[in-house]
């Protein structure tokens, strides 16, 4: 951990702290290596496979790494989603409350899977909750970057699917 400079961010739904690695604040950290790793990971994700490498490089520059402790909610059901996440390690559980207020597990996501895209794309609250099953590390993109860089790609895919 001494190799990295961390900033603390506190989200009101968490009782603890989340640490976000900001690769731009540590001059000793090899940013090129991180960006190349992100570009490589993006090339293996369904919605980014068709992109030119230059576009994936642009996306990679907008990503930040974040780690969540086990049993932490990353997205709460009914909340506005402000980040798009791509899992790089660990697993998350996607669940939804039933009409009897019981939590129903819908699926488990792992490395290479992503979440948060649909609520941000349609600008709606999340219909599901996403919770860390074990320590989870994700690449994370904020809403503005998502709207500028990812949403147009999703719209293109939607138009192609409708043709």
Residue 124 maps to a domain:
yes
CATH of residue 65's domain is: 2.60.120.10
Q: At what angle do helices 31-42 and 53-62 cross, to 10 degrees?
A: 120
Q: What is the pTM of this model?
A: 0.74
Write down the pLDDT at residue 134: 95
| CA–CA gap between residue 68 and residue 95 (Å, rounded) | 17
Is the model's pLDDT at 87 over the cut of 80?
Answer: yes
Q: How many domains does the chain have?
A: 1
Residue 163 maps to a domain:
no
Show the domain range for 76: 6-158
Q: What share of the chain is helix, strand, coil (3-state, %, to 5)?
A: 30, 30, 40
User: Which of 14-23, 64-73, 121-130, 138-147 has the weakest average pLDDT?
Assistant: 14-23
Is the model's pLDDT at 113 over the cut of 80?
Answer: yes
Is the model's pLDDT at 3 over the cut of 50?
Answer: no
Residue 90 maps to a domain:
yes
Q: Binning pLDDT at 50, 70 and 90, where does residue 109 land?
A: very high
């Amino acid at each position: 951990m001494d190799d990295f400079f961390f900033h603390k961010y506190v989200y009101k739904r968490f009782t603890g702290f989340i640490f976000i690695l900001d690769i731009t604040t540590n001059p000793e950290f090899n940013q090129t290596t991180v960006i190349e790793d992100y570009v490589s990971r993006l090339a293996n994700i369904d919605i980014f496979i068709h992109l030119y490498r230059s576009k994936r490089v642009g996306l990679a520059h907008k990503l930040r790494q974040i780690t969540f402790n086990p049993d932490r909610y990353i997205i709460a059901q009914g909340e506005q989603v402000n980040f798009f996440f791509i899992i790089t390690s660990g697993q998350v559980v996607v669940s939804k409350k039933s009409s009897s207020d019981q939590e129903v597990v819908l699926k488990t996501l792992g490395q290479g899977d992503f979440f948060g895209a649909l609520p941000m794309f349609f600008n709606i609250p999340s219909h599901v909750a996403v919770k860390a099953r074990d320590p989870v590390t994700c690449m994370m993109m904020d809403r503005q970057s998502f709207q500028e860089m990812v949403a147009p790609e999703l719209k293109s895919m939607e138009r192609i699917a409708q043709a």
